[in-house]
Amino acid sequence: MYAPKVLIMKKNTLISIFSLICIVLTGCNKDKNQSTPDSSFNYSKIIAISTDVLRDKIRGGWAGQVIGCTYGGPTEFKFCGTMIQDYTPIPWDENRMQWYFDNVPGLYDDIYMDLTFVEIFEKEGLDAPAESHAHAFANAEYKLWHANQAARYNILNGIAPPASGYWENNPHSEDIDFQIEADFAGLMSPGMVNTSSTICDKIGHIMNYGDGWYGGVYVAAMYALAFISDNVEWIVTEALKTIPVQSDFYQCINDVIAWHRQNPEDWKQTWFEVEKKWSSDIGCPSGVFHPFNIDAKINAAYIIIGMLYGNGDFGESIDISTRCGQDSDCNPASVAGILGTMIGYSNIPDYWKMGIDKVEDRDFKYTAISLNDVYQISYRHAMQNIERNGGKIDSDNIHLTPQKPAAVQYEKGFKNHYPVEQLQIEENNQKLFKENTEHTFEFEGVGFVLRGRSAIDSGNRSGDYDHLIELYVDDELIETIKLPTDFTRRRNEICWKYNLEKRNHVVTVKLINPKDGYHLRLYDALIYDNQALNSF
C-alpha cells in the first residue's frame, strides 16, 4: 500500500484530534503532577512522574526510532540537494517493518549501533569506560560507514578514543554518525540533560569530533527534555543550550529556529534557506564537491524543520523531516524517537504503530536484543541514572531533579581548511596498482585526502589480503598504512594529511607488498587550502 502524504495527513489529523480531546478530558497518559515547562522553567523544582509513564515514554522513544527509520527507508540518500515533493508517495502499511527486518535489516543500523552501547552499560554498569564501548563497537560483525568505520579502523590499528574520532585522524569526524546513535544517552537520562552530555562525551568521541559530536549531544538533550515537556519549540531551543554558541552547529540550528519564527507556515522556505547557507560540506571526502551530504549539522537542521513545522503532530513531523532529503531515514527516526518520548508509546497514533507488534520480539541484526528487551533495559538504566543524580523513587512514583542545560566544551574541526580542488588520478580517473609501483601528485595548499580502495580481483577466491603502502610528503615518510580488502576492517580513504605548511607539496604513495589476485585502486585527491576559493 502506498500512502501519499495527503492520505497520511488526513488520517493522522483525525487521530490527533481524537488524542487532543482525550488529553483535555482525561489527561490520557500524562501524569497529573507533570508540568509543561516554558522559557521561565524552574529547574530547581522537583518533577513527579509515575513509573508507568516513564516506561511508556522510554518505549515510545525506542519504538519511534523504528517507525521513523522504516518510513524514511525507501528514500535514504535518493534525494540529495533536493526535497521530496508532496506528490511523491512513500509506502506505509502494516508489513513495512517486518519486510525490512526480513530483507534489509541493515536499515536499522542507527538502532543496533545504540544497542552496542546499551549492552555494555548492562554488562559493566553505568561507569563502563570508553574503551569497553570502543572495543565492542570496533569488533562487532556489522558493517559500518563514514565516521564509524574510520573510528573502527583507528581502534583496530591502535588509535584509541578520543583520538579515534579526532578530525586529523578521521576525515568523517563531522558526519552524522553519533547524531543517529545518541538516542540511548537521552533515554537513560530523563530530564538530566547534562548527565546525557557526559555520556555523549565518553562515547561520542569514539567516532566524532566538533560539529559531528555536537549532533549527538543535541539529539540526546532533546530526548532528555522530552521527558519533562510537551512543548516542542521549548525542547528544541532549550536543548540547543548544550551546544557552544560559537560553533557552526549552534549557528545552523539557531538559524532554523529563527527562520521558523519568521515564516511558521512554510517549511520549504526554511529548507531553501538552509540549503543556501549550510549545504557546503568541507569534511566528508564523499560529500565535498558532490550533492551527497552526510554532515551532521544540515541533517540536524532537517530534524528540527520536521519538529517545528510538524507542530507536535507525529505523522506530519516525520513526513516533513523525511521530505527534506539526504539521510532521510535517520532524520525522521530522530524526530519520531523524540516525539515518541514526549507523548509516550500509548499516544503514538495507531496508524503509525501498525505492524510494530510483528517485530517487537525480534532481535535486531547482529544483536541478541529486541525492542521488548531494550524497553526494559533502558528503563533500568534510566532508574539507575535517576537515583545517582539526586532523584527519588517512592513506590510507583519518581521524583526527578531536572538539570539546567550547560554548554559542553568548544571544539572546531577542519579549522582554516577549505576544499579547493579535486585532482583526478590518471586520465581514466583512476590508477590501478597491480605490481610494485608508486603514484605521485603535486598540489599547493595545506592538506589532502587521497581516495581509493583495496580490493580483490574478480574471480579470486583466495580470501582477504592487507595491502601495505608507504606515504611520503615532500620526501618524508609520514606513515606505513595497512589497507585491508575486508569490508569490515577497511580504511575509508587511502591516506590523508592536514595542517601542512601552505606551499607546494609532493605526495608519493608506494605499494610495498603487491600480490597476484589483488589490486589497489586510486580515485582522486581532495585538496585543501587555508582560505576559501574566490567566487566569480
Q: Do 438 and 508 contact (CB within 8 A), yes or no?
A: yes
Residue 454, strand partner residues: 520
pLDDT value, residue 434: 79
Verify that 267 and 367 share a domain, yes or no: yes
Verify that 475 and 377 share a domain, yes or no: no
Domain stop point among 400, 432, 457: 400
**What CA–CA distance (Å, rounded) separates 258 from 139?**
43
Looking at the structure of the chain, the number of domains it has is 2
C-alpha cell at 177: 554518525
Tens-digit pLDDT profile for residues 36-61: 345 578 898 999 999 999 999 999 99
Residues 208-231 have a mean pLDDT of 98
C-alpha cell at 391: 532523584
Verify that 302 and 351 share a domain, yes or no: yes
Residues 472-479 have a mean pLDDT of 98
CATH classification at residue 509: 2.60.120.260
Tens-digit pLDDT profile for residues 301-358: 999 999 999 999 999 999 999 999 999 999 999 999 999 999 999 999 999 999 999 9
Name the pTM for this structure: 0.92
CATH classification at residue 375: 1.10.4080.10
Domain stop point among 400, 427, 448: 400
What would the DSSP string read from start to end of 247-279? Answer: SHHHHHHHHHHHHHHH-TT-HHHHHHHHHHHH-
Verify that 93 and 145 share a domain, yes or no: yes
Verify that 54 and 162 share a domain, yes or no: yes
Confirm whether 24 is domain-assigned. Answer: yes
Q: Quick check: 13 pLDDT over 50?
A: no
Tens-digit pLDDT profile for residues 415-460: 999 999 999 987 666 788 877 689 999 999 999 999 999 999 999 9
Verify that 128 and 95 share a domain, yes or no: yes
Domain span at residue 43 reads 2-400
**What CA–CA distance (Å, rounded) separates 364 from 106?**
9
pLDDT value, residue 39: 59
Confirm whether 411 is domain-assigned. Answer: no
Residue 445, strand partner residues: 503
CA 176 to chain centre: 4
Verify that 107 and 200 share a domain, yes or no: yes
Verify that 92 and 240 share a domain, yes or no: yes
**Neighbouring residues of 310: CB distance < 8 A, sequence distance ≥ 6:** 232, 316, 317, 318, 319, 320, 321, 335, 339
Q: Quick check: 22 pLDDT over 60?
A: no
Verify that 357 and 448 share a domain, yes or no: no
Verify that 386 and 475 share a domain, yes or no: no
